Each structure stands twice: as C-alpha cells, then as structure tokens.
Amino acid sequence: MGNNTTGLNLGVVVSVRGSVVDIRFGGHLPPIYSLLHAQDGKIVIEVLAQLDAWHVRGIALTPTQGLARGMGVEDTGGPLKAPVGNSVLSRMFDVFGNAIDRLDAPVDVQWRSVHRAPPPLARRSTQSEIFETGIKAIDVLVPLERGGKAGLFGGAGVGKTVLLTEMIHNMIGHHEGVSIFCGIGERCREGEELYRDMKEAGVLPNMVMIFGQMNEPPGSRFRVGHAALTMAEYFRDDEHRDVLLLIDNIFRFIQAGSEISGLMGQMPSRLGYQPTMGTELSGLEERIANTDTGAITSIQAVYVPADDFTDPAAVHTFSHLSASIVLSRKRASEGLYPAIDPLQSSSKMATPGIVGERHYQLAQEIRRTLAQYAQLKDIIAMLGLEQLSPEDRNVVARARRLERFLTQPFFTTGQFTGLKGKLVSLQDALDGCERILQDEFKDTPESALYMIGTVDEAKVKAAAGLSKPITETKKLSGAQP
C-alpha cells in the first residue's frame, strides 16, 4: 500500500467497537496519524488518540469484520500516503492509492503523506480572474474565480451532480490543466457513469479520479478528500499546472467526521455535529489555494440537509467559498434547469472592478427584475395578471423571458432530453439578457426562449412555429415553460 514497514513495532488489539479499535503496545507508542495493519494488511487502522503510556485508539479505514481481541497489529511507521506523479493521470483510485479501474497498478509514482499544511500566506497569489463555464446562469449571475472555491448547494435530487458533470465536460475542453474528481461518500453508480462519460469524451488522459464510496467506513470517507488534495498539490507545486478539483460531496466529509467523532466518544455540538467541524473543514479547504506556481480551482457539491440553509454544515461551508450557487427545488419542479436560484446565489467576483461595469449593471438589473416578479407572484395568484399596472405587467413579461433564457440544454443530459447540449460564451449570454431587458422579445412567445443557447435561436424557433404563443391571460405565475 505504499507504506513501508520499518523495524517492526507490534501491538495487540484490546477492544473493538464498530470502527473504533484500542490497541496496546509494549514498545513505543505510534504517533498520531500513524497507520497500523492487522490481518496481514487486510485491516488498516489510523491512530487518532494516545490514551495512556501503552494504549492508542484508532479508527479503521477498512471494514473490521474478523478483527478480535488479542490479534496482533503492526505499526507501518508512517501516515496514510497517496500516490503522486504523471502516471496517476487517467486512473481511478481508492483512499489507499490502490487502482480500482481493473488495470495494473501505476508504476513510477512517489508516495506522499495526505496530512500536509496549507501554503503560507506569502506564497499565495492575490490576483482575481474569471473562470468561464459556458453555462449562462453561472457566467452572468455568479461568475466563478480561477483558483477560487465555488459551492453547489441543494437538497437531494435538484441537480448538483448533473451540474458538476456538465462543468467538467465544458471546462476540460478548454482547460489546459489537470482535473481531479474526488467522490466522497457518493454512489458507486455515479463514479462508474462519470468514468465512462469521461472516457467517451476523450478527456480521461488529463484526469484523476479518487473515490471513497457510501458503503465504506467513515474513516475511509473522511480521508479521501485529503488524498485528492495531496495529488492536486503535486500538480500545482511540482508540475506548475493549474488544477480543477471537483468534490462531490463535501457534506459527506463533514458527515464522516461526525460519525468518527461520535465513535471516538466526543461530546456532540449543535444538531449532533462534531465539536471540531470548523477545524476539520478548514484543514481541508485551506489547502485549496492559488500560489505563485499554479492554482487549484475547486467546485464542490454541498448537500443541504432537508433544504435547510441554516444547518451548521451548510453555514460552515458557505464561509470558505468565493461563489455559492444555490439550487432551488421550486425551479427544478417548474422545469427551469439548471435550477439555479439567482436571488440566493452570490459571487465575490460580481463587482465592477473584476467583471467590468457593463456586466455588473446587467447582473444587477436581472436580479432586480426577478426580485420584482417574485414580489408580484402573490398578487398574480390572488387577483390575476389583469389587475397589475402596465408597467408591472412588462416586468413580469421580462422576468419570465429571462427565466427561460437562463435555462440551457446540457451535453451530459442529451441522452435523456433529446436536446443537443449548448455552450454559450459570456458575451452572447450578456447580449441576450440585455436585449430581453430592452423588450426586444416582447412579442416573441416566452416558450421560444426555453432551453436555447444564444438568444437569436428564439427568433428561429418562433418563426418555425416550434413554440405556441401563450396568451397574456394564461400567464399565471405557476405556468410551466
């Protein structure tokens, strides 16, 4: 497993409680984070606490079936290590650095400890650049930062993984660097589908995948993020390349930490989370940084328990991000995909100094229009659209057209929707929004703007009669696109 045995230091198992194992050592106690092997390396334990002069308590990174009191345990003399080097590209690994893609183990790799300190402030880069994704709603309203951290927030089934895979698809084409996909506690089906899609798209040669799946013990899920970051830091610091780090799902990292904390007998804090959640999350997030040698740009999916954004896991994660893309169940149910909520999503990049005056003003105007529409929805539902002033009616028409224009057919969902994916440049997206706000499409049926790329496609669609005009009276707030 890449962790060499140096001078055998042997211990004996004294108790096993689920994933928590207490071991007695006669010689010297292994340091914190040391890896221990039992049953000839089949069971791997990481030391988390030294209880007294003879006992250590560790968490198993593998299932503990078959482990019993009195069994021998061997100290490997080092921490958990991850393989780094160019030969890890296009491969798929587990938390121990074992290849899980049914191919031979990669040769010519170095093994590095997964526990590393973040880069010092003096080495960090301070410039801000925009990272284009080709997805209209993101590029216009929540621009991402090169070397920044973006979070995709949403409950179950609103499209986090789909949006993440679409970004991988769009970026790898014009992203010269390396992409690392880290699956923390996700479904094995998602890993298998991603591997197949990336292979078909021909982008695997610049990609590494590392998975700690849902069915694995919490110790393994907890460490897989650190292993992925160790690989990312190698490409940034040694190869001087830009890295795109995709994490799905950071909430499962917090969840695994919470399980370990409970098993280790720590006192829980609010809502049963571990008292050390802030520290553990920072230890991971602070390693994702821009330095003078390269940048790690990270996009993380964040599951929001019960759609509650005040949940401590969501709150702690928000504080680390330069952009938060919030997905809304209501928009998903209306068929407005990507289901990004423009009023809840935000980005630190959306300032005139970074994106430019025109982009900034347009984004503000779009938000204003959509916010006014949100306020008018109650009146429309109770009294009907006819009771609104002509001015308000125009706002509603503009907002509904903007909502539909900000939807987009995805490449990764083409096989399900039958619509060919579209990549839209920032310039085209801004032009489209500007023309809608100037009422150029006042007489175009709003359904012509649904699921298109550039705004000119709406005119073609309307002319071809592919969209049925919706009469003003039917335009109730809940009408489907």
The pair phi, psi for residue 124, each rounded to 5°, is -80, 145
158 Cβ contact partners less than 8 Å away, ≥ 6 residues apart: 327, 328, 329, 332, 339
Active site residues: 160, 186-187
Asked if residues 251 and 300 have their Cβ atoms less than 8 Å apart, the reply is no
Distances from the Cα of 269 to the Cαs of 262, 275, 300, 313, 448, in angstroms? 11, 5, 25, 12, 51
Q: What is the number of H-type helices and E-type strands within the chain?
A: 14, 18
Contact partners, residue 192, CB within 8 Å, separation at least 6: none
HSE-up (13 A, CA, CB side) for residue 40 = 0
Long-range contacts of residues 29-32, Cβ cutoff 8 Å, at least 24 apart: 29/53, 29/54, 29/56, 30/56, 30/75, 30/77
Euclidean distance between CA atoms 278 and 215, whole angstroms: 25
> Which residues touch 195 (CB under 8 Å, ≥6 apart)?
92, 101, 204, 209
CA dihedral 107, 113, 115, 119 (to 10 degrees): -80
Mapped onto helix, strand or coil, the DSSP state of residue 69 is coil
The reply to whether omega before 338 is within 30° of 0 (cis) is: yes
